[in-house]
Amino acid sequence: MKAYLQMLSNGNSLSREEMRRAVTEMFVPETSDSEIASFLTALKIKGESVEEMASLVEVLREKALPMSSRLTNVMDNCGTGGDGSQSFNISTTSAFVLAGAGVKMAKHGNRSVSSKTGSADVLEKLGVGLDFGQQEVEELIEDNGIAFLFAPHIHAGMKKVMKVRRDLKIPTIFNLIGPLTNPVKLETQLVGVYRRDMLEKMANVLHELGTKRAIVLNGAGYMDEASLAGENHLVLLDKGNITAFTLTGEEVGLPHYENSEIRGGDAEENAKILLEVLKGKNGPHLDTVLFNTGIALFANGKVTTIAEGVKLARETIESGEAYKRLEQLVLYSKNKQKQVI
């Protein structure tokens, strides 16, 4: 670890193999908290390279709860968080719409980090389990179109590093790569990031990791979700080609709303908003979910334009298919709990 710290302190990036060895060292009991903290801080000061980020993700995936290789054509729409917008759980709500539209979803998420309510907090309030194993994830994705992967359960070996991150109290490489550490092999992905300057770099990391098609976005007001408040910045990765573009809600037939109109609250309030959206209640929450789902459907390749994606998202909610995906996930969780008791 000392040698890698010296390299980073001198402003030199680590190769894929050097980063792999350094990250592996972080999980060795003999490595001290101060060494881990120094390593993460040095990486941040130097600036994380594509190779360093990709290598870290690979190691974390390998150390995660194993997932079946039988799952194919699976997507995730997890964001980094950290935008400070206090918005309701947009990507979590959108995940059920995506599943209802026929996209297989492995929804990766955590409890609240920078917002009042994380995906795990709101889903737990709705009755969704947080401890699904490999076979259960596979069953849920194949039969219901969506499973929830709770990050601390999936990445149980991260406790030591998590403690260091909490003690540091500054954003590190882990704040960027969280959405990429889903252990299910994803072919497509929508990734929201709180840093606009990282869009192309994140797309390159996804390419390095073998993702076929993805959109990385930073919303109006620097949200890590697409926003109807103005211009959103997006990067499309498609078979190794990277294309940057901007998009507003008006361009796909959606009205303008300020970001203040989509603020959420505690888990109970956000659960209420999620249910209202899936049941089709009109307003800024629904339209924001339509926008984000439309973009995700385009990223997945389910539709050929984002406008088509918005239309399909609306039809999916109106048909009740999105709400049905949540109902089935809650029912599965309740049955699992009964078996434990």
Report the run of H or E that residue 202 belongs to, with start and end.
Answer: helix 199-208
Sheet holding 74-76, edge to edge: 146-150, 104-109, 74-76, 186-192, 213-218, 232-238, 241-247
Cβ atoms of 148 and 123 within 8 Å: the answer is yes
Q: If we measure between CA atoms, which residue out of 317, 319, 257 comes closest to residue 285?
A: 257
How far is residue 32's CA from residue 36's CA, in Å, rounded to a whole number? 7
Tell me the DSSP string of 319-339. HTHHHHHHHHHHHHHHHHHHH
Binding residues: 79, 82-83, 87, 89-92, 107-115, 119, 165, 224-225
What does each C-alpha distance from 209 to 53, 139, 187 come to in angstroms? 10, 25, 10
Q: How far apart are the first and last CA of the chain?
A: 46
Neighbours of 335 (CB within 10 A): 10
Binding residues for Mg(2+): 91, 224-225
Q: If we measure between CA atoms, which residue out of 16, 84, 3 comes closest to residue 55?
A: 16
Surface-to-core class of residue 74, CB atoms within 10 Å of its CB (0-12 exposed, 13-18 middle, 19+ buried):
buried
What the block records as the tokens of 245 is 């573009």
Binding residues for 5-phospho-alpha-D-ribose 1-diphosphate: 79, 82-83, 87, 89-92, 107-115, 119
- Longest pairwise C-alpha distance within the chain: 59
Binding residues for anthranilate: 79, 110, 165
